[in-house]
Structure 1
Amino acid sequence: MPVTDIAKDVENHTLTITAEFAAPVARVWALYEDPRQLEQVWGPPEYPATFVDHELREGTRTTYYMTSPEGERFAGYWDVTGVDAPTRFTFRDGFARADLTPNPDLPVSDCLYEFSETEGGTRAVYTTTYASAEALQQVLDMGMEEGARSAIGQIDAFLTRG
């Protein structure tokens, strides 16, 4: 399983997930750059993603939705705040309404995705920071930890296929 650690820091409102992939950093980066590849691993397998807009460049907005087994859509967005290819990018991650506009009633997080070479692959560290401990708890109660573990768990298999 690619996920090697999940650390919750309620005091600092963060969730940090560490994963190891058997692919070089450039290959992992390519996955996050390409919306068609990203669709294959963003979200749990039973909630496939569709990226409507995606360009991994500072100042852009990514929009997407995931579809439940029953056909219900759950939308989200990223506002990309920084890109240092191929080792890190930052973005504000939020929930969206059906029309893909931000839903201000749900938490927004600041995300830092970092990739470094390891012997035989890549270490990825995904750090998500919320405005409050309550916002962190709200997304944890929504199943975010389990969903992230499941989504990240798909990446190694996808990288070895593609």
Structure 2
Amino acid sequence: MNSHLQFDFTVNKSDNTINVKREFAAELALVWAAWTQPELLDLWWAPKPYHTRTKSMDFRPGGRWHYSMIGPNKEVHWCMAEYHSVEPGRGFTGLDAFCDEAGNINAAFPRSLWTIQFIDQGDSTLVEIKIKYQQLADLEKIIEMGFREGFTAALQNLDQYIAAQFKLRQQMRTDTRARVCTYLNFPGNTEEAFRFYQSVFRKEFVAPGIQRFGQLPTEPGQPPIAETVRDMVLHVELPITANHILMGTDAPKEMGFTVTAGNNMHISIEPETREEAKRLFNELSAGGNISMPLQDMFWGAYFGSFTDRYGINWMVNCLAK
């Protein structure tokens, strides 16, 4: 986490609450999406070395998010969030609990009411979180279980991966000419795959070449990149036939990813104008499933992603203002 960003964590035993204020160096739309879309929540919600896997999510009043936290030894802990209210772009409330795989609440652990508000600060977003327990003993039990440390680490996951991923993409894309790329995700063998593609197409990687997680500077107060991830590929681009670009990244399990056939490849369209980006996004996504609505992103692009009605994954990424 950037040391200049606000982060306050306080415990108030007089009303059995935990109060957190956490600022993110991203626009409101992106931060809201990260808290409300299962594909993004699965990337950061669990503190390392755990990772989150959503079973189902219905983000609306009366809906539920049913998910598991999976540990390094494959142990599985099931959780449930029951949404009470939702104000798009502003906040939501919900009741949190431990449960089993079928969604039955585990009464041995205390439940908590979460109230989360999002405050637009222009280039950054402040998230204010109030977590209330019924009894002081419940609050103390959660604190004793290491909630502060675990939640702090989880919030840092969001900073670390998203900022790193798109910082390097912006460095490697210096003009706004239209192009179409194919974006590939691998579970840890991106370099092996791209060395193979390079030998076949006999082309050089786009400068500055293979970028690795370990090359990223760590902000003060931010946890270092895990040793098992440091040498993995953060981003690489290779021109192939007719200058079509293959882009690739490692999506390691240490960061909460599960790469499977179907989520490992996207067609990435980079139009010259925002108008064309909007047209392509709206027409291609009709009847499909939008994973991230088209919106201005903090790395300077007008970006959205979706799976079309035929099951094909797309990204639209426009750098024009």
Does 2:33 correspond to 1:30? yes
Q: How far has the Cα of 1:76 moved from its partner?
A: 0.5
User: Which position in structure 2 is the counterpart of 1:49?
Assistant: 52
Is the contact between residue 57 and residue 65 of structure 2 (CA under 8 Å) also seen in structure 1? yes
TM-score when normalising by structure 2: 0.49
CA distance in 1, matches of 2:161, 2:91: 20
The one-letter code of the counterpart of 1:12 is: D
Is the contact between residue 18 and residue 123 of structure 1 (CA under 8 Å) also seen in structure 2? yes
User: Which position in structure 2 is the counterpart of 1:110?
Assistant: 113
The one of 9, 12, 25 aligned to 1:9: 12
Q: How far has the Cα of 1:58 moved from its partner?
A: 0.6
CA distance in 2, matches of 1:119, 1:61: 30
The one-letter code of the counterpart of 2:103 is: L
Q: How does 1:59-74 map to 2 (within 5 A)?
A: 59-74=62-77
- SS of the residue corresponding to residue 153 of structure 1 reads helix
Q: How far has the Cα of 1:70 moved from its partner?
A: 1.0
Greater radius of gyration (CA): 2
Q: How far has the Cα of 1:158 moved from its partner?
A: 3.4
Give CA-to-partner distance per residue, 1:46-83, whole Å, 9 cap, x none: 11000111122110111011011111111110010000
User: Which position in structure 1 is the counterpart of 2:319?
Assistant: none
The one-letter code of the counterpart of 2:140 is: Q
Is the contact between residue 18 and residue 126 of structure 1 (CA under 8 Å) also seen in structure 2? yes
The one-letter code of the counterpart of 2:20 is: I
User: Which runs of no fewer than 5 residues in structure 2 stay unpaired?
Assistant: 167-321
Is the contact between residue 39 and residue 49 of structure 1 (CA under 8 Å) also seen in structure 2? yes
CA distance in 1, matches of 2:79, 2:149: 17
Is the contact between residue 27 and residue 122 of structure 2 (CA under 8 Å) also seen in structure 1? no
Q: How far has the Cα of 1:119 moved from its partner?
A: 4.4
CA distance in 1, matches of 2:162, 2:57: 20
Using CA pairs below 8 Å that are at least 6 residues apart, which structure has the higher relative contact order?
Answer: 1
User: Which position in structure 2 is the counterpart of 1:133?
Assistant: 136
Aligned-residue RMSD, C-alpha = 1.4
User: Structure 1: which 4+ aligned runs deviate by more than 3 Å?
Assistant: none
Is the contact between residue 17 and residue 133 of structure 2 (CA under 8 Å) also seen in structure 1? yes
Is the contact between residue 3 and residue 149 of structure 1 (CA under 8 Å) also seen in structure 2? no
Give CA-to-partner distance per residue, 1:107-142, whole Å, 9 cap, x none: 000001111012421001111000011000111111
Is the contact between residue 73 and residue 98 of structure 1 (CA under 8 Å) also seen in structure 2? no
Aligned residues: 162
User: Which runs of no fewer than 5 residues in structure 1 stay unpaired?
Assistant: none
